[in-house]
Structure 1
Amino acid sequence: MTDLYARHRRVLPDWLALYYDDPIEISHGEGRYVWDSAGRRYLDFFGGILTTLTAHALPEVTKAVSEQAARIIHSSTLYLNRPMVELAERVAQVSGIPDARVFFTTSGTEANDTALLLATTYRRSNTLLAMRNSYHGRSFSAIGITGNRAWSPTSLSPLQTLYVHGGVRTRGPFAHLDDRAFVDACVADLKDLLGHTRPPAALIAEPVQGVGGFTSPPDGLYAAFRQVLRDHGILWIADEVQTGWGRTGDHFWGWQAHARSGPPDIVTFAKGIGNGMSVGGVIARAEIMNCLDAQSISTFGGTQVTMAAALANLTHLLEHDLQGNARRVGGLLIERLRAVGAQLPGVREVRGRGLMIGVELVRPGTDEADPQTLAAVLEAAREGGLLIGKGGGHDTSALRITPPLSLTVAEAEEGAAILEHALRSTY
């Protein structure tokens, strides 16, 4: 046990998760690589849980942070804030939401809290619809709408939450159906559920379930849900904390795979936009965002230095078409991993889109989750010089692969080779 690990254990909560039997301290990074305090280099395929969206130590971001910090770091939302206004203008422009208003927070959890406040106030209801296997943050209200038992330490909640089928395509009672029948069955389930309750305030859904193991429904499911929701006046909140900003390659926002019914009423975001800085936020059309009848502020949401970083990061992302790179390189990486998985009985599925890829592991010959082997693969990948994540629900265990969107083809092949060796050596 290292001295830092021992100190960590003495002063931090037992429930604060750490990766690896021998946890590592990441000391610095550049591009798609990071180094630990012992000087060992790793190819980073997890990006600080999807936060390093473009690259480690991206020059444009570090320059923006340095220059802004030399002027002023923070003043709160009680004063006009030029970087916040400029970023809000850009976010509203790319949001797809008409007459959009933007509120900045410090995290995805806080963004989802704010979305819940807006939806329940606007609709005068504390009933929420959420997806099974979902995750929306660690706060009291966010836990109350999280449909993943591993991340729900309490059943107490200020909200009444009803869970809907559809977030997991290849498991559950509708898994045997084709895509069209799957969507029809989920819509029928939603209609039946609404027939037994007072109209909820909103449905909150991740277009791709992040912590749940990068599962997703067929394209168009949430558009079909939207038709039903509109008949009841129910809002649609798209949790884009992990899927936004081009990570899925095919679309800038995950909800656009379900765009037949138009944009969501509310979009939440965080993680990648700050490229490691604490930036989250909510986008909603004006009538919803302005429905609060009491004053509010944010002490740390939208600070000048984080807004400058996010604005530089978004500009770099758009000017260098990193969404297109995620589509191209991510497509190659998915196919490479599928070819590997087809040869290993413990790989149930390689899924995802763009640079948001899940590799679900099972006990060979079964459909049962295999968390022990997953942990062993994680360790073997680290030993080989690759950092990846993990996730899943109560009956799934999956590797989570989310490199920075500037990943090169050579780096994708390097990471795939390390992961292949880790899988083969474990199985």
Structure 2
Amino acid sequence: MINLTYLLFLISIIIIFIIDKLIAKRSWHDPLYIFLILMILYVSPLTLRYIYDLPIEGNVTQYFYELKNIFPYSLIVVTICILLFYTSYQLSSSIIFTKIIRKKSNNIEKNLLNYSIAGYFLLVCGVFLFLILSLPYGGPVGVILQGYAVTEIFSVNPLLASSISIISTSSIILLCAYVQNHQKKYLFISIVIITSTILLQIILARRSEIAVWSLTYIIFYSILVKHVSLKKILPVVLVGFIFLNLLGFARQANYESIETFTSSFSEQYNNLENDKTGMFYTLTTGQFVIPFETVPMLMEKLPYSEMKYGTTLFDIILQWVPRSIWSDKGYGNGVWYYRTYYDPSGLSNEGRQFFFLAEGYLNFGLLGIFLWSILWGFFWKNISLLIKFQNKVSILTAYLYASYTASMLTLIASDSVGIFVAFVKTKLLWFMIGYIIAYFGRKKI
């Protein structure tokens, strides 16, 4: 039965893609296409393990065999959700908030905003914070040499992690200066900054940050500077995907020097001769086998009496309260899931990625899953409409579109807090600070 339901899942996506290409003209980075690709990437790994009767290994859930009977039904449910998502995506129109952002940003940008000052300000602030906050760990070099172990440092010192995001954001703001003034020095500086931060993230093995920031920059560039065709971007995406898999396969912690990093990476790369699946391990035993498990798991194990009935949505507001003020504040659905089904004594930074549809089931059962798919279609359609119906796409709407669309890579394996809190804190806040600085330094015309 799994074979048949998986086939229906794939056919539904193919049909949607064909129909949409016939009736609509969209760019390769449209949220609809990103969503369909990600659904295949996140649903297929566990499904194929069932089809080919592969054993439990890597990050595959320990409940793998217990979920075998319910799994085909979860595939049917997710197939229905894809159809509901597409229907909602097609029928949705701009809400008032979307229209206001489009109109206000165009009016604001009729002035010459001082993006150069804003970009340099964020760059200096980001570098300063990184230098100061890294001192307890041996300075910048000490943090860098932590490698993959830096995740633990960032969990207790999130502002240190944010300093890198601030530097990355400065590259986007300086790219805005190039868009406005067409001075190539801003483009050059912007590329140098984003390249430097990506190289830093490579050493730290923060693959999600590498993927999201790279895609954000490319989409933003494609919208406002020069269109990047699918023919050009596809080889980059494929090579990047393989590289990030290799990075995950080879990542280590606590390097003695940068030379140790390169030699360690080379050594692990050579180990691929004995493990050919390492080039695609995220699809077999790594990142992509985790999130979708939450759907069949909750369908199988969560009784109706323990459903949340919408209370998880309060976290969208409550997560803004600093933990220093409210120490008993929850840690999110991923941590709740891990403590409930894996380790009741798990730490606050231990969790499992929580698929976006699982939040719907956690709140309202099957009805919730269908409701969430409709809401997601509505939300992402409005993201796509940010760059529509404008004589000239504004910088603000272009960034909102590019950053949100790129972040879908991780948001699909998250909950509502990821969309409305985590994204705002890590991707939107620093850009808006730069945008406001640029506005107050504007030249009226």
Q: Which TM-score bucket, shorter chain as reference?
A: under 0.3
* Bigger strand share: 1
Greater Rg over alpha carbons, structure: 2
* Bigger helix share: 2
Q: Which has the higher contact order (CA 8 A, sep 6+)?
A: 2
Please, what TM-score do these two structures have when normalized by structure 2?
0.26
